[in-house]
Amino acid sequence: MSQSQAVNPFEVAQSQLDRLAKALGLPPEVTAVLREPTRLYEVNFPVRMDDGSIRVFQGWRVQYNDARGPCKGGIRFHPDETIHTVKALSAWMTWKCAVMDLPLGGGKGGVKVDPATLSQSEKERLCRAWIRQLWKNLGPRTDAPAPDVGTNAQMMVWMMDEYSHLAGAYTPGVITGKPVGAGGSLGRASATGFGVIVTVRETLKVLGINPGGATASVQGFGNVGQYSAKFFKDLLGGKVLCVSCWDRHDRKAYAYSKEDGIDVDFLQTITDAYGTIDKEQAQAAGYHVEDGDAWIDKDVSVLIPAALENAITSESARRIRPSVKVLAEAANGPTVPEAEPVLAEKGIYVIPDFLCNAGGVTCSYFEQVQNDMNFYWSEPEVQQKLDQKMTTAFYAVHEMAHEKEVDTRLAAYMVAVQRVVDAMRMRGWI
């Protein structure tokens, strides 16, 4: 956690944009518009606890850019949440929606809270209170939140229900990531992890690596980490040798590994709702337990950071083994700018975060479409459409990188930011 706090993620996001703006030759006034969010809301709101006391929570919603459509982005409940994190994530959401060619802009929300310390009824009151503060600034054609770190499908349906009460009409499209049966889409829970592995599959193809013989190490065992590990085996036929996760009881991270590959299904049965693996049960099942940062030292072909931002520094990047050919950024902003030259020197193919983990927002878009139609697709249909979208986006970035002779992150920015700038120009904003 200390590493995450040491780096301002919004400054990272801005430095990435500045590099892109120079490469694209954007006018200074256009860059100035893109460097800051269009709208930012900060709220401080009371919630009654189960013991009758009142707690005041701090939260934010950032609507970064809506030139291409309504803002889209998750809401995080995390004890170390800051406005800097939310602003950075809203910027990355803008580029993520654009690189996927979705008719959406970028937004993000956050509340400074550890949801693990709240009862179920306290979580519900918190969700409803957050919506009451911001509902006039949200909507299917304005800004539609979704789940993120510390939030889940149940919380989303509470938020949707509260919004519907306030708006006076059932409005499922205002929130995505809802449970199936309450306006949610089949395949949504696994969508981000599925999309991560689709991009890994295509990367291994262009590198000439047999997916069935590939191995991986995953940082984080929340929703994205779990499904990334699962689909690495089920979709590619590869092996995941190590996963790491934050242990909320010991307040530190551990890495769990097995030489013949981890059993994702088993580990899921001993993992709580916040991504903490039961250490004693894992050890009893023969897993080797190490410090949490050991995941990056593994002799594998693919590294998948799927936890919080700023996980890969220049120092940790130097520890990456020569066997590693692909870094799939399943997390948002896992690599600090200083680590980029180290990765380039090692010849590692980086799948940038806002392409790699865009499966979630793409399926959220599918959910909004289904909400509008009031007609819902089967899970195979959702995955087929998602596979097609992720594959098309991957090759748009890969081909841009080759055409312009730039790295993949810069290529992804070129594709995404140019689409946003084009929309702003067509709308007469610039």
Distance, in Å, from the CA atom of 310 to the CA atom of 222, rounded to the nearest integer, reads 17
- Smallest CA-to-CA distance from 412 within 358, 331, 361, 354 is with 354
∠288-291-294 over CA atoms, to 5°?
Answer: 80
Note if 108 is an active site residue.
Answer: yes
Widest CA span in the chain: 63
Q: Which of 95, 378, 422, 153 is nearest to 273 (CA)?
A: 153
* Pair 354, 34: CB distance under 8 Å: no
**Integer angstrom CA distances of residue 252 from 66, 71, 249, 267:** 38, 35, 8, 18
**Residues 6 or more apart whose Cβ sits within 8 Å of residue 208:** none
Pairing type for strands 252-257 and 239-247 reads: antiparallel
Q: Which of 108, 258, 298, 325 is catalytic?
A: 108
10 in Cβ contact with 84 (< 8 Å): yes
Number of H helices, E strands in the chain: 16, 12
Give me the phi and psi of 65, to 5 degrees please. Answer: -160, 130
| Residues forming the active site | 108
